[in-house]
Amino acid sequence: MAADSYDALATVLRELPDRFGAAVFSDRRRVVSVLSDRVPEARREIKVLGSAIDDGVFDALSGARPEQIGLEIDRLAARIETNLGIRSDIALPVVRACAFGLGRGPLPSAYGGVGAGQPMPAAAAQPDGSWVGVSAPVGGMPPGPSSAPIPRYQPDGSWVGVSAPVGAPTGPQYSAPIPPYGAPQQGYAQPGAWPGAPPGAYPGGPVAIPKKGGWVKWVLIGIGAVVGILVILYIIGSQPTPGPTPTPTPKPTPAPTPKPTPGPTPKPPGPQPPSTRTDDPAGPVTTRERESDSGPTKPPSPPAPTAGTYGEETADFGVPAQRTLQSSLGSPTPTALPAGIGKVLSTQALDNELRKGTDFLLVDVLEAPHQRTIIKARYIPYGGRAGNFNDLVQQQLTSELANLTRSRTDYPIVFFCQGPRCWESYNAALRAYEAGYRNLYWYRGGLAAWTAAGLQMQPLSGR
């Protein structure tokens, strides 16, 4: 798509707050309808922009600090590229158009007009300093400084990343400059030059940096050998010097000890009853009885992750608990469900319950396209939609949960979606409570925290 078409999208977005108010960007239907009328030739890009609204792009751009807006644009574009499978040359201009619509960036075409050796302009920075810095263009940019490369999909399934390498130098208008576009970049693969990369990897991912200065290796080896010799000499010198052997003193002969009178032989203890203690009280209350030591040996489980938190699963955005269904599905969520409705489950607690074989229902309600989900999860994509408790969604969810739980309202159910910035699993828990279920759990970390912890996943089964 031509750059002027992205500029047309950005220009229309800039007009919407004046026509419909500042909250217009939370109304996906209205935004998509206006864009379809004004820029009909950009149907694909409008569809991507609609998904960006659901993913909370406008909220994230609005909440970003002025000096970090360039990095935030890159991060959001990478997230859309990974979650939706959209090419970066579409995802990045769409996010830039969103930034222009909020008054936090220039037109998308302004990112590609930098001459060689010249710094990127501040993109007509506002007099009040409302935004600073721009993100890197996608392809076709003449050599010159730009912002950090977009994080790419990693072989281990991780998608959470930063927009610039840690420790990169900073400048007055850029968050993390990198080598010019078009020139070989040390540590990053060039577009089209990634033979042997793992399936699903994108061009531009990290590659091995060629080693230089072979003499340094030999110097280090020599230093290591000298240190090793010194350590050996120190150990040898610290050994005590053998002296004359002392003459042993004869020990007195001990008096004979009277033998004890034999008594009744104590009986061996009988078999002990198996322990019923539960090691992890943080998970669902219904658990299977553990096998006794005399039972068959279970196959070894994969190693458990290090205890801690992952992603933003404990981040507090200052949002109070809600008892009504939320329509802004891609915005920050509270840290807990309303009192009496259910409990929040951490990544560590959910993994423990799966390893113990706890009998519960794990439900994925993320409606946005995604390829993989948590192991043993059932997929109900409509379960977290907005609406009310008397709509068709409520009736369908009530019927499907009754089928999966055999109409047991005390059956433990765990809902999850993308992560702490996704309301769909929160809405699903409220709907399940309204349907009469009273043993509910919300895995707030969702797919983002589970992927960051490197835990087991499975392909998303079709419905």
Ramachandran angles phi, psi of 140, nearest 5°: 80, 5
- At 35 the three-state DSSP class reads helix
CB 324 within 8 A of CB 423: no
pLDDT at 189: 38
pLDDT at 253: 60
What is the pLDDT tens value at each position of the chain, 463 positions in all?
566 788 888 899 989 998 888 888 888 888 999 999 888 888 888 888 888 888 889 899 988 898 888 898 999 999 988 888 888 888 899 999 898 988 888 998 888 743 333 333 333 444 444 433 333 343 433 433 333 343 333 444 433 333 333 343 444 333 334 334 334 434 333 344 334 444 443 344 444 444 455 678 888 999 999 999 998 988 887 766 555 555 555 565 655 555 555 555 545 444 444 444 434 434 454 434 333 334 444 444 444 444 578 989 999 999 999 999 999 999 999 999 999 999 999 999 999 999 999 999 999 999 999 999 999 999 999 999 999 999 999 999 999 999 999 999 999 999 999 999 999 999 999 999 999 999 999 999 999 999 999 999 999 975 5
pLDDT at 250: 55
Alpha carbon distance 124, 110 (integer Å): 10
Range list of β-strands (E), 205-244: none
Check residue 122 and give left, alpha or beta (phi > 0: left; psi -120 to 50: alpha).
alpha
Helix, strand, coil % over all residues of the chain, rounded to 5: 35, 5, 60
Nearest to 160 by CA among 421, 442, 428: 421
Strand partners, 440: 413
Nearest to 285 by CA among 347, 351, 343, 363: 343
Alpha carbon distance 358, 378 (integer Å): 15
CB 5 within 8 A of CB 42: yes
Instruction: Give me the helix-helix angle, 88-101 and 3-20, nearest 10°.
Output: 30
Tokens 């938190």 locate to: 309
Domains of the chain: 1-113+120-164+174-182 (no CATH), 343-459 (3.40.250.10)
Q: What number of CA atoms fall less than 13 Å from residue 401's CA on the CB side?
A: 34
Alpha carbon distance 266, 257 (integer Å): 24
Alpha carbon distance 318, 85 (integer Å): 32
CB 451 within 8 A of CB 457: yes
Alpha carbon distance 286, 412 (integer Å): 7
What tokens does 307 get? Answer: 């205890």
pLDDT at 23: 87
| Confidence (pTM) | 0.38
Alpha carbon distance 242, 140 (integer Å): 79
Nearest to 13 by CA among 58, 54, 47, 43: 58
Distances from the Cα of 67 to the Cαs of 133, 369, 395, 405, in angstroms? Answer: 6, 32, 47, 50
What tokens does 439 get? Answer: 């043993």
Alpha carbon distance 370, 337 (integer Å): 25
What tokens does 136 get? Answer: 């890197």
Burial of 421 (0-12, 13-18, 19+ CB in 10 A): buried
Alpha carbon distance 70, 411 (integer Å): 47
What tokens does 447 get? Answer: 């797919």
pLDDT at 286: 46
pLDDT at 307: 59
Strand partners, 374: 457
Nearest to 383 by CA among 392, 374, 373: 392
